[in-house]
Structure 1
Amino acid sequence: MALFSYTNIAVLLISLLVARRTYWEATTGQRRRRLASQKGTLPATQRVSRVPSYIPTFGIDAVVDNFRAIKAKRFLEKWQQDFIDAGAHTLAFNVFGASVYMTEDPENVKYMLATGFDAWSLGKERIKSMSAFLGMGIFTNEGKAWKHSREMLRPCFEKHAVADVSLLEKHVSRFVQLLPEDDRTIDLQPLLHELTLDIATEFLFGRSTDSLVRGEKSKDAEGFVHAFEYCCDPFLSKPYKKWGYVGLFLPDAEGKRCAQAVKDFADKIIDEEIASKSAEDRKNNNRYIFLDELLSATQDRTVIRSELLNILLAGRDTTASLLSNLLFELPRHPEVLSHLHAEILEHVGATSTPTYEQLKNMKYLKAIINESQRLHPIVPSNSREAIYDTTLPRGGGPDGTAPILIPAGTFVAYHVYSLHRRPDIYGPDAAEFRPERWLEPGFRPGWAFIPFSGGPRVCIGQNFALTEVMYVVVRMVQGYAIESRDKGVWRERMSITCVGDGGCKVGLKRRIDGGESGKL
């Protein structure tokens, strides 16, 4: 009797599986075959595996290779090498039974970020992890909620909000006071992160964390800085420090505590701002404050806090990373540094504070920033998840020119690092730091250069970020002769953004009246 029951159960389960498969073939399978036929899709090139093809690995070999590369600080190079080894710009590989794609093709990037924007999502897991401490704001919202966030925030980044450089000068002056003038080596990277946090918090909240003010920081500000950095960098987590990469997938009680501390700090400032000013006071305030603009658009505290923290993440980490990477490269190329100093003397002078208009007219400085973002993109890799069955324009077939079928739920990573270093686009010197390429007639990389993403989700704060970077660089070069003190090869340190793992070690010597007497 028991055997008969088990047999019936087995038959029932098999019947259900067959029925499910038959239904899938009659609906989803048929729809995908029709889409593939209409678009003329072909399979993508498979990633080259070091394991023989007849041995099923279920993608474990790819995961192991990635973890090894991350540990060696060569993950970005490893992905670039994957494209080179396969001789293709779009690759497919299997991870635990699921197909995943990665691409360095500008046409595919353009489709995901712009022309096919509605077909793609940021991905549920990514939104879940980021919203844990940022809340639901412009970087974590999608659909109508994202459009509402963008419409609400766009006026906050109009020219009048970023053209006043007095806020920058206040904090850059504090930064400069902490720099040695005795030729000893200093790592600028941690100071740059403090500088950009101070600028961002004053611009957003109306009050700074004053990270650069030694010995005078409040406990609230210190706690916020610690909590914010902990949430932003998974490699600071206690599970990671104890268990290594396995720890990245384990619960983190400290992470939850820090996420709440970040929210509490923001809520406190919002409450104080509301209590201290009337709407009329905020309207008549001479100095631009992002929070005041938000309060004029909505009274929802959760929305205000979420949008503030979303922008703070972008305004602090990305700008600090760009400055750190740029000042790592710049002193390694004395001829570039000399040319930049000459441009600063021409447009600004030896000691004058630069204006917004002067900064925007400095073409060589812009070229240097572009080149730094090209070689060391702040977000070197990103991804999208297909919302419904769609295609990528290129990457299929032997020559990689046919479209590729991308089923709903499939992840496609676009590798900005290798896209920015393609020799067929940037020339045989694509791996070299050469700002002059951006001043050459006819040089237009288009979608092969996406330092601030592109399409509808292009960074709305890029003008503010670039103004801040240009201002800091000008004041540094005006005041100091800068010498590189790190002859090693740049290696990545990945978190939400990417910086050099070795920091930004330089030697500084004060210039006299902006002249050359400060040479080291």
Structure 2
Amino acid sequence: MISEASYLAVKTLSAIYILTCAVHRFLPDPAARQLGPLTPYLLPWVAFALVPVFLYTGNKHFWLRSNRVYKTKPGNVYPHRDPILGVDWMISASKGLKAYNLLETWDDLFASIGNSFWHLAFGKWILLTNEPENLKVLLSTQFESWPIGGVRQTTTVITLGPHAIFSVNGKEWQQGRALIKPSFVRNQVADLECQDRHVERFIQKIPRDGSSVDLQKLLYLMTMDSATDFMFGYSTEMLLNPTKETSEFTQAFDHALYVSASRARLGWISYLIPDKKLDHSVRTCQRFIDRYVAKASADEKLKERPYLFLHELLQSGASMEHIRDQLLAIIIGGRDTSASTLSALFWTLARRPDIVKKIQDEIASLDGQKPTWEDLKSFKYVNMALKETLRLWAPVVTNMRCAAKDTVLPKGGGADGQSPLFVPKGTAVRWSLHSLHRRKDIFGEDAHEFRPERWETLRTSWEYLPFSGGPRTCIGQQFALTQMAYVVVRVFQTFETVEPKDERPMLHTLSTTTSLLNGCHVSFKAS
């Protein structure tokens, strides 16, 4: 193996020759350009040919030196057919997105290459990992060294704006989180009046005659209404009174999120391609939010609740752009995550009557009464079913961070991936919960199966992250779990059975969050 010193020597000699040729070629005084006996050997074409040699040996020296200094080992690398730009990776990713099997493709790569590996994306090296110890470092123990950046930040800035809590770091992020946090104190989350109002409207929209309904569509409308009601005190009323304006917003918002997220997975160069439809969708979303804020701020009911996020934003003197960005971010957190999880759960329950029976047996103790917050917390099987859904189909299934400095991750180095791994400043690290949550060495040989009972004994830490972890842990976690449990309980207090009305396989659309490509077409039979 060529040594670090050998690469350094070749790099240095190449640099000297290239610089000497450049000086000889561009000095204005012809007499000064005469370098004695060296002059005949300073050939421009040789200098040009040495440029890739200089770059290659410089890169090899950098990595060998870094591994020595940081006491790390090289990581495994995706077997590129194009080792310069990684176009083959981008083609594979594009095919995976179009076939709706990108996550499964990554699963296969983790199985064949290792739980951490490098790949190229338009000339930039990216680390893909599903190691719990690495995620602990990224999200918690070295939080400040791993901010949101790169294409991940570009994605959220395009769709949500530069001030959204998902777009920013540091002090601005801390201020935004502090403003949101009081909305999710226990007494506000445990007050189910807001939830009940929207869940009852949702149930009323479900046919009683056994006809098919796309439950996913209703769930997204319901969670939009309940999230805006809870956080802003002024519901969009999409489920009760859908309008052309709200429909246009929903379509535009979904399109903007999907296109920008797809670009992030394809790489930075995809952002250089103009997209008029994306730009139009973003402007449509902004206009809708601006009109919504104007209506909400004129509503005197805003003052009746003890704490409203929108009211605090308006009182803070924040600009309209800042308010708009925060509201769009909250809509993703409040609408998409719960609707995505519940859609996957009901799709599964329609095919698993045994689990439906266990849920109904557990909630029978209510004797038809609506559950309290304490009841919801006590329903062990309902919560295990939700936990299992979040394991297999986490709404935010992939995410990334960008190294703010040269650093080290605890896993990923060496052929077995168990040694420390050096990561240079500016490197993006992406992880996949779809792969992590299906690791058989963590969740058992039946890791791909939907089995809520595994949570009776299974205890996890950084192996299970549907709500992320560390300082950026989802602040609305308890709100989401309460809402989803309430929906499940009320639906199965109202209906006896749920059956599938679509035999197509479960496929997911990968946007900022996941959704079911073919919807959730089911039918219910009333109790």
Q: Structure 1 residue 163: deviation in Å?
A: 1.6
Report the TM-score, using the length of structure 1 for normalisation: 0.84
Contact 1:48 1:82 in 2 (8 A): no
Q: Structure 1 residue 107: deviation in Å?
A: 0.5
Q: Secondary structure at the match of 1:155?
A: helix
Q: Secondary structure at the match of 1:324?
A: helix
Call closer, same or farther: CA 1:12–1:145 in 2, change over 3 Å.
farther
- Which residue number in structure 2 is paired with residue 484 of structure 1? 500
Structure 1: give runs of 5+ residues left out of the alignment: 240-245, 512-520
Contact 1:189 1:503 in 2 (8 A): yes
- Which residue number in structure 1 is paired with residue 273 of structure 2? 250
Contact 1:122 1:384 in 2 (8 A): yes
- Which residue number in structure 1 is paired with residue 156 of structure 2? 130
Q: Structure 1 residue 500: deviation in Å?
A: 2.4
Letter in 1 for 2:147: S
Q: Secondary structure at the match of 2:140?
A: helix
Tell me how far apart the structure 2 counterparts of residues 299 and 336 of structure 1 sit (CA, whole Å): 48
Q: Secondary structure at the match of 1:141?
A: coil
- Which residue number in structure 2 is paired with residue 230 of structure 1? 255
- Which residue number in structure 2 is paired with residue 154 of structure 1? 181
Tell me how far apart the structure 2 counterparts of residues 315 and 274 of structure 1 sit (CA, whole Å): 20
- Which residue number in structure 2 is paired with residue 243 of structure 1? none
Partner deviation per Cα, 1:213-263 (whole Å, 9 max, x = no partner): 2xx4445434433332332232999x9xxxxxx998632223323323322
Q: Structure 1 residue 489: deviation in Å?
A: 3.0
Q: Structure 1 residue 357: deviation in Å?
A: 1.5
Tell me how far apart the structure 1 counterparts of residues 110 and 354 of structure 2 sit (CA, whole Å): 33
Contact 2:259 2:278 in 1 (8 A): no
- Which residue number in structure 2 is paired with residue 517 of structure 1? none
Pairing 1:391–2:425 present: no
Tell me how far apart the structure 2 counterparts of residues 406 and 247 of structure 1 sit (CA, whole Å): 24
Call closer, same or farther: CA 1:181–1:37 in 2, change over 3 Å.
same
- Which residue number in structure 1 is paired with residue 437 of structure 2? 420
Give the counterpart of 2:358 among 339, 342, 354.
Answer: 339
Letter in 1 for 2:311: D
Tell me how far apart the structure 1 counterparts of residues 220 and 261 of structure 2 sit (CA, whole Å): 16
Letter in 1 for 2:517: D
Q: Structure 1 residue 497: deviation in Å?
A: 0.8
Q: Structure 1 residue 103: deviation in Å?
A: 0.7
Alignment of 1:94-493 (within 5 A): 94-135=120-161, 136-213=163-240, 216-234=241-259, 250-277=273-300, 285-286=304-305, 289-346=308-365, 348-350=366-368, 352-440=369-457, 443-480=458-495, 481-493=497-509
- Which residue number in structure 1 is paired with residue 74 of structure 2? 43
Q: Secondary structure at the match of 1:446?
A: coil
Alignment of 1:24-103 (within 5 A): 36-48=67-79, 51=81, 56=83, 58-86=85-113, 88-103=114-129
Call closer, same or farther: CA 1:276–1:119 in 2, change over 3 Å.
same
Q: Structure 1 residue 12: deviation in Å?
A: 13
Tell me how far apart the structure 1 counterparts of residues 89 and 186 of structure 2 sit (CA, whole Å): 46
Call closer, same or farther: CA 1:484–1:288 in 2, change over 3 Å.
farther
Q: Secondary structure at the match of 1:251?
A: coil
Contact 2:150 2:428 in 1 (8 A): no
Q: Secondary structure at the match of 1:465?
A: helix
Q: Structure 1 residue 179: deviation in Å?
A: 1.2
Tell me how far apart the structure 2 counterparts of residues 400 and 6 of structure 1 sit (CA, whole Å): 46
Contact 1:119 1:386 in 2 (8 A): yes
Tell me how far apart the structure 2 counterparts of residues 154 and 33 of structure 1 sit (CA, whole Å): 46
Call closer, same or farther: CA 1:226–1:415 in 2, change over 3 Å.
closer
Tell me how far apart the structure 1 counterparts of residues 237 and 271 of structure 2 sit (CA, whole Å): 31
Q: Secondary structure at the match of 1:482?
A: strand
Contact 2:179 2:312 in 1 (8 A): no
Letter in 1 for 2:220: H
Structure 2: give runs of 5+ residues left out of the alignment: 1-20, 27-42, 264-268
Q: Secondary structure at the match of 2:462?
A: helix
Q: Structure 1 residue 276: deviation in Å?
A: 4.8
Identity of aligned residues (%): 36
Q: Structure 1 residue 456: deviation in Å?
A: 0.8
Tell me how far apart the structure 2 counterparts of residues 158 and 360 of structure 1 sit (CA, whole Å): 16
Tell me how far apart the structure 2 counterparts of residues 337 and 5 of structure 1 sit (CA, whole Å): 76
Contact 1:137 1:306 in 2 (8 A): yes
Aligned length: 480
Tell me how far apart the structure 2 counterparts of residues 487 and 91 of structure 1 sit (CA, whole Å): 36
Tell me how far apart the structure 2 counterparts of residues 371 and 276 of structure 1 sit (CA, whole Å): 40
Q: Secondary structure at the match of 1:493?
A: strand
Partner deviation per Cα, 1:61-98 (whole Å, 9 max, x = no partner): 22222222222211111100001112x21111233333
Contact 1:171 1:198 in 2 (8 A): yes
Contact 2:183 2:307 in 1 (8 A): no
Q: Secondary structure at the match of 1:91?
A: strand
Contact 2:499 2:523 in 1 (8 A): yes
Q: Structure 1 residue 166: deviation in Å?
A: 1.5
Q: Structure 1 residue 148: deviation in Å?
A: 1.3
Partner deviation per Cα, 1:366-416 (whole Å, 9 max, x = no partner): 110110011111112111111111111111112221111111111111111
